[in-house]
Amino acid sequence: MDMLVQQKVLLRFECRMARHEFAERTIVVSPGFQEWVKAELNLMTAIDPAEVSPSEQVYILFKRFVLGKSMRTGRLFHRMKPLDGNHDIYELKTPDIRIFGWFYRKDFFVAAFGANIEQLKGTGMYGTYRDLAVAFRDNLPLNEPKALYGAGENDVVSV
């Protein structure tokens, strides 16, 4: 995994931290995810005007994850269905955005794709993004296991 980050096949998420804050978890993103952030996410506005922008929502969620803060199962992330499939793709959630990826190891998330909730609702695209994330993972030159296969939500994030 470190070699893929060095080669920029995957890009490490970096966040600003106060002196008393330390990274306890890791997020890496695909180049496609980073391009989506630049080309689409940064231009989106919140569905609810009382919310921060979608790009700020993602930054806050990612920083929360990296700092080791509580990640409530169901509300902030969950394993995608069907659960009996061997995909082990997770969905991280903000009010406006869904992020599709997997846990390479405990506390180590790989964000492959992102989408606006309005683009997903009622379109059947959740399965498409799940399958795209599986294909992206399968094509990475990683030794097996490439993910925490069969692990539940409580097994992938330290409390």
pLDDT in tens, 32-58: 999 999 999 999 999 999 899 999 999
For 60, 81, 95, the CA distances from 50, given in Å and listed in that order, are: 16, 31, 11
In the chain, where are the structural domains located? 2-13+24-150
Encode pLDDT of 63-121 as tens digits: 999 999 988 777 788 888 876 667 899 999 999 999 999 999 999 999 999 999 998 88
In terms of C-beta density within 10 A (0-12 exposed, 13-18 middle, 19 or more buried), how is residue 87 classed? buried
Question: For residue 61, what pLDDT is reported?
Answer: 95
Question: For residue 18, what pLDDT is reported?
Answer: 82
Question: For residue 62, what pLDDT is reported?
Answer: 95
CATH architecture of 2-13+24-150: 2-Layer Sandwich (3.30)
**Does 123 or 83 have the greater pLDDT score?**
123
What's the CA gap between 100 and 77, in Å, rounded?
10
